Structure 1
């Protein structure tokens, strides 16, 4: 026995989700949460973090690395959201109508640029700005 859910997305494409969890009220909500997790792992695997390149095998080390990478992902994503709201860029659209550069990629670029200023120029102001993105009220980006 399966239960099937279907809806149209914003581009009028059909999204279909089938589940064997018959008591599930709304499989679409569960699928949306799962998709966010899939996006996280895609970024951790190949869009900046290259997690698999570490070749770690000890479970405790892998666990710590995934935790640190998840925090870094959230940091980059948060910076990307802020940067896009502060100074929206005209991002090219791919054939699927999604922006070519994700908010994560945008934020990661800002973090990399900022960390270069911190490490190579010992810029403490930029460091404070970057760290502020880990708080509810980030400071305005003063470079780039």
Structure 2
């Protein structure tokens, strides 16, 4: 039973990644790329971006719905925070942007 639950957990995480890559998130399909090398590089980049969005989204405040779950996914919250921070302009690097970049570094617990 434990193995079945563990496998389902892994599968669900992969499904969350694919959902974020589709029209609800990064809109991978709208690139219309067909060259294998280009798609592979883009998929790697989007996977790293997905992980970054999750790390940033966990830190964001979010209202809860009546059933106790977040109103938005951590990926959506993270993507919004990253876009908001980065779109302020290259000449305006503040502590928030530096903090978000530091999230990509190695964890001290690893």
TM-score, length-scaled by structure 2: 0.83
- Higher helix proportion, which one? 2
Gaps of 5+ in 1: 6-24, 138-144
- Higher strand proportion, which one? 1
Structure 1 residue 133 displacement after superposition? 1.7
- Between the two proteins, the alignment pairs up a number of residues equal to 106
Q: How does 1:12-27 map to 2 (within 5 A)?
A: 26-27=3-4
Structure 1 residue 93 displacement after superposition? 5.0
Gaps of 5+ in 2: none
Give the superposed CA RMSD: 2.1
TM-score, length-scaled by structure 1: 0.65
Q: Tell me, yes or no, if the aligned pair for 2:63 and 2:71 is still in contact at 8 Å.
A: no
Structure 1 residue 89 displacement after superposition? 2.6
Q: How does 1:101-140 map to 2 (within 5 A)?
A: 101-119=72-90, 122-125=91-94, 126-135=96-105, 136=107
| Structure with the greater alpha carbon radius of gyration | 1
